[in-house]
Amino acid sequence: MVQLAGAAEAGALEKKAEAYKQFTQAALTVEFLKVLPELAEKIASPLTKVDKITVISQDGASSGVNKITGDIAKIMAQIPELTHIVS
């Protein structure tokens, strides 16, 4: 019984993988955009547990909240590149 379930699951995964191979770049972009808000939430979620942030800047040019939000934006900007590496 377990063997049948495993074989069925493997077959389903093979079909899913084949379907993803047929996706165009546009379809992949649409799928990516569907999960982007969830990714942004997960990337930023540790900040919800912070009471106080002290930012020490060596260059003095960028500090404070602007630096933190800028770093989050940089992380988000790297996600599309990561998806190309994974796919």
- Whole-angstrom Cα distance, residue 45 to residue 8? 37
- In this structure, what token pair is assigned to residue 80? 């599309």
pLDDT value, residue 82: 58
**Tokens 């996706």 — which residue?**
23
Reported for 79-84, long-range contacts at CB under 8 A and 24+ positions apart, including other chains, are: 79/32, 79/36, 79/39, 80/32, 83/28, 83/32
Cα→Cα distances 45→9, 48, 50, 65, Å: 33, 5, 10, 15
Mean pLDDT, consecutive 10-residue segments, the chain of 87 residues? 78 81 74 83 84 71 68 78 55
pLDDT tens by residue, 70-83: 877 888 777 766 55
> What pTM did the predictor assign?
0.39
